[in-house]
């Protein structure tokens, strides 16, 4: 819990971060939100069901995993 709070407060110090989607309609779920016995460990953005939008990463790396859920959880891209 302390690590989560420390991470959240550290993230709040960075006000000039560039969002991962250039023209995202907005954040739909934030980091650290409480969800039925756990904390959400990511950020969710809506693409309004469109494909082909470029996604920006915070640093150089590679795509480690791409995941799609058929039960309403959307898609996830994991970078390393």
Q: How far is CA 33 from the centre of its chain?
A: 12
pLDDT digits (tens, 9 = 90+) for 24-76: 667 888 889 898 898 988 888 887 778 888 888 878 888 898 888 777 667 78
| Rounded-to-integer distance, Cα 57 and Cα 77, Å | 10
Once rounded to an integer, what is the mean pLDDT over residues 11-21?
67
pTM for this prediction: 0.55
Inter-CA distances, 34 with 5, 52, 59, 72, Å = 12, 31, 28, 18
Q: Parallel, antiparallel, or unpaired: how do β-strands 44-45 and 38-39 relate?
A: unpaired
Q: Which residue has the higher pLDDT, 79 or 7?
A: 79
Q: What is the dihedral of CA 33, 37, 42, 46, to 10 degrees?
A: -70
């Amino acid at each position: 819990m302390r690590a989560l709070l420390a991470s959240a407060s550290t993230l709040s110090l960075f006000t000039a971060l560039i969002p991962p989607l250039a023209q995202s309609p907005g954040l739909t779920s934030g980091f650290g939100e409480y969800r039925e016995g756990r904390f959400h460990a990511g950020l969710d953005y809506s693409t309004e069901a469109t494909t082909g939008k470029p996604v920006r990463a915070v640093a150089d790396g590679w795509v480690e995993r791409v995941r799609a859920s058929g039960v309403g959880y959307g898609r996830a891209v994991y970078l390393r």
